[in-house]
Structure 1
Amino acid sequence: MNKGKIFIDVKGIVPKVGETLFKSPINFTIKEGECWTIYGPNGSGKTLLSEVLCGRHLLKAGSIDYPFLEDLRTAAQEYVYPRRYIHTVGFQSTYDLSDFRDAYYQQRFNSQDADMYPTVAEVLSRNCKDGDELRRCIKLMRLDDLQQHRIVSLSSGQLRRMIIARALLENPKMMIFDNPYIGLDYETRQVMVDVFRDIMRRGVQLMFLIPTMRDIPSCTTHVLYLEDCAPVYAGRVEDFKEKFTDSDIAEIAPFEFADNADVYASCPDELVEMEDIDIFYGDRFYQRGLHWSIRKGEKWALQGPNGSGKSTLLSYIFADNPQAYSKNIRLFGQKRGGGESIWDIKKRIGFTSSEMHLYYRENANCLAVVESGFFDSVGLFRKCNAEQEKAAVALMEYLGLDHLAGRSFLKVSSGEQRLLLFARSIVKNPLLLILDEPFHGLDFKHKRLCLSLINQFAHGKDKSLIFVTHYKEEIPACVDKIKTLS
């Protein structure tokens, strides 16, 4: 690596993709050895700009020079495509392994089908025939003990490390990480700090896409700040932190939830009863002999490191895990397998999670995605009544998403998708709200709005909450009980 040599030179570019148009030209120069973070709130254009750098979109104006590609071009090649050597690693890419994403949401919890899916070692060996390089990469990403684990059984943090290893084995010259700390506990985040520095020492250029200042990696040397698809700042990270803070909201207005206490009046006080529950996948146990009782009006935080079984435990409640039928679990007064349908359970629950985000790939407009929360469906197959549509529109306006109502869910940013799925979970004002790391990829302002909405929801009669996060400061003020999985 020749520090000081220009790696990528962005000169007055104006990307235009579909309905998204940058409002002013973007100029910045990346030199070898520098580590850039593209920072900005949800919908500011971070992901679009990264895709432009990879050569996936045409430009309306300006140009991008890639001096590093000239060193890689052979005499027989007229052009070397940037995306061959610039790899993006994001939360979505974690599951882009053959048909894995399509099956993941259901099969993740069905260990009987585990043998259908490859092991970590099998996935990585497809990308590398050099045994020594494969072993070095496995060691670098701390995957030694996971090589024989099926990918469907890994936690989100373990999957993240595997997908980075997979990308590294393709010998990229630059890696772009979209929200690299999503779903990671504190210890794994610290491991990733060391991993990023190790990758840079291998001569790989790094870039990060980050919506909050808290998550800007410590290896960052320079920042490009985008706001509303326009550049605000480009320069050294030290100067950036002196000049700017996360955007906030001066005052948060109250939100009026529909009064539906009578709908849930017949539910017993004991919403969830679990006795002597084992959480396992295949022959690996995550928890043994677990007891948990959730009553009307209780607000819980569910905590534990990556791989402790939190998402699996929640799947027993949300009726997505066939193992629940063989366990001593009662939901809303009925034992699982006692004749109730999964829709009888889901109609009382609002739910969102990282897995839901990956699985929800319907090409519906954003308003329809929020409205689907009334029917617990992936896609909108029933027409909302006037009252339901009014509630969905009001919720989108409150979260600042009303301008997306008619746009395709698949065409908005990842952070905006997360916000829409959060709105979907709460739109029907459920009896029990289950939020499994709902703030993944959200900027500071929208986290504040969502926290306010959760606390307002919790003030409703008999409302209950289960909230999962790896950040203590994200736990809503209404939470009064904590369940910790070791």
Structure 2
Amino acid sequence: MNTATHWNILLSNQINKKEFINTILSGHAIGELAPFNKLKGILYSDLAIDHFIQKEFQYIELTAIDSNRKLSTFSSGQRKKKFLQYCIAQKPDYIIFDNPMDHLDQASRAELALALEEMASHIKIIQIINRISDVLPFITNNRQINSDAFILENISQEIHETKIISQSGIPHAVHPPEYKEKILVQMNNVSVSYEGRPVVKNINWTIEQGEFWQLIGPNGSGKSTLLSLINGDSPKGYGQDLYLFGRKKGSGESVWEIKKNIGYFATNMTSLFTRNHTLEQMILSGFFDSIGLYDLPTTLQKNIADQWLDLIGMKHLKNKMFKRLSVGQQRLAMIVRSVLKHPPLVILDEPVEGLDDESVALVCQLINLLKQESNMTIVYVSHRAEPTLAPNAIFELLPSEEGSIGIIK
């Protein structure tokens, strides 16, 4: 089949992607995509995988995706592979791939790109992406959409310089951070296994104040395991030579005593804010560690929230409903919420996944500003190497049959 039947379509986070995808799948595409209206299509996306897993729990009689195993029993990387096999087995004329490279390590991205190129000989491909670097090179039809009219246009090569810094320095904390020790986290020969399966082995990692770390490793190498040890969520930390904010794990501390020292952001956190809270209210809720604002903020807290919104160029949106903001705006605001109190440690778990290039630039500028203007320690988790970010050091997990080992680069 001629590669001219395949498409790379670049969208910004401002576009109603869900509606655009439904337009194609429902047979109401316009313009150059109109030939798909008479064809059978299926959606491949992280959301589609989540919906499939939900159905597995709802309907016991649902056929297992692989022999006798349900999709929910596989690792995240394996889920993507198995769900792609499932999509192909439905014998569609075309598959819409929504940011298929997100959350994949470099080797898995290369493997998926090769699989898509081989698949393109008998199934049409529409790849929807937010970053121009994810364009599949074997596809010759490359377009972008700039409005919810869903008109396909040629991809612009013009680079827009985006700036968010509108004042010198980041806003001060209401109360100065209480933690004064140099070392925040210390792991000495820490090993973790689940149901007899080794995950990490003999991890030695010391995180000190003011450092900027990037945590990397292939899918399934144990990055989430290390994060759960640091934030106190994992019971696997008991009995280990693990120190969190000056106290040995299991010495009588509560999980809340650990978490008060951590500002945490993960991409799935935006889905927690479902009520009609404004952007300002969502930012202010960071002072109270609540999902939404249920306490009366002080005048000082409101002033500080205004300063942060001014810093990221979103003060004019303070009264807009948070859930109506673009994905990029939500992500930027959630990072601000996590650092509002100047916690000693900030964990940013894949903060740029799913963002367009402009939004990635904004987030990277904010991270750099935090590094330059504060003593907050940053642990940044991502498979992508962003050229504008410069961590002090990289902690890399290398998988083995005995569990991943960690090396410092």
User: For 2:351, what is the secondary structure of its paired residue?
Assistant: coil
Structure 2 counterpart of 1:321: 234
Structure 2: 5+ residue runs without aligned partners? 399-409
* Map 1:409-424 → 2, pairs under 5 A: 409-424=322-337
Structure 2 counterpart of 1:92: 47
- Listed one character per residue, the Cα deviations across residues 97-135 of structure 1 (whole Å, up to 9, x for unaligned) are 45599xxxxxxxxxxxxxx999xxx999436xxxxxx68
What amino acid sits opposite 1:41 in the alignment?
S
How many angstroms does 1:316 deviate by?
A: 1.1
Structure 1: 5+ residue runs without aligned partners? 4-31, 72-84, 102-115, 128-133, 136-146
User: For 2:172, what is the secondary structure of its paired residue?
Assistant: coil
Structure 1 counterpart of 2:380: 467
* Map 1:373-392 → 2, pairs under 5 A: 373-392=286-305
State, as a whole percentage, how many aligned pairs show the same letter.
28
Q: Is the aligned partner of 1:215 residue 2:128?
A: no
- For 2:149 and 2:237, locate their aligned partners in 1 and report how far apart those are by CA, in whole Å: 49
Whether the aligned pair in 1 keeps the contact of 2:45 and 2:100 (CA below 8 Å) is yes
- For 2:193 and 2:112, locate their aligned partners in 1 and report how far apart those are by CA, in whole Å: 27
Structure 1 counterpart of 2:402: none
- Listed one character per residue, the Cα deviations across residues 207-257 of structure 1 (whole Å, up to 9, x for unaligned) are 12222211222233223322354667535xxxx4xx523433268544642
Structure 1 counterpart of 2:251: 338
Whether the aligned pair in 1 keeps the contact of 2:231 and 2:262 (CA below 8 Å) is yes
- For 1:425 and 1:123, locate their aligned partners in 2 and report how far apart those are by CA, in whole Å: 42
Paired residue total:
397
* Map 1:19-418 → 2, pairs under 5 A: 34-55=5-26, 85-99=40-54, 125-126=63-64, 151=72, 154-155=75-76, 157-203=77-123, 205-229=124-148, 234=153, 240=155, 243-249=156-162, 252-254=165-167, 256-260=169-173, 263-357=176-270, 360=272, 362-367=274-279, 368-402=281-315, 405-418=318-331
- Listed one character per residue, the Cα deviations across residues 29-66 of structure 1 (whole Å, up to 9, x for unaligned) are xxx9522222132213344322322339x99xx89996
Whether the aligned pair in 1 keeps the contact of 2:64 and 2:71 (CA below 8 Å) is no
Q: When the two structures are superposed, what TM-score results if normalisation uses the length of structure 2? A: 0.82
Q: When the two structures are superposed, what TM-score results if normalisation uses the length of structure 1? A: 0.70
- For 2:33 and 2:108, locate their aligned partners in 1 and report how far apart those are by CA, in whole Å: 36
- For 2:126 and 2:143, locate their aligned partners in 1 and report how far apart those are by CA, in whole Å: 10
- For 1:100 and 1:432, locate their aligned partners in 2 and report how far apart those are by CA, in whole Å: 38
Whether the aligned pair in 2 keeps the contact of 1:255 and 1:453 (CA below 8 Å) is no
User: For 1:201, what is the secondary structure of its paired residue?
Assistant: coil
What amino acid sits opposite 1:484 in the alignment?
E
Whether the aligned pair in 1 keeps the contact of 2:130 and 2:357 (CA below 8 Å) is yes
What amino acid sits opposite 2:23 in the alignment?
V
Change (3 A) 1:65 1:286: closer
How many angstroms does 1:350 deviate by?
A: 1.2
Change (3 A) 1:441 1:260: same
Bigger relative contact order (CA 8 A; separation at least 6): 2
Structure 1 counterpart of 2:405: none
Change (3 A) 1:65 1:163: closer
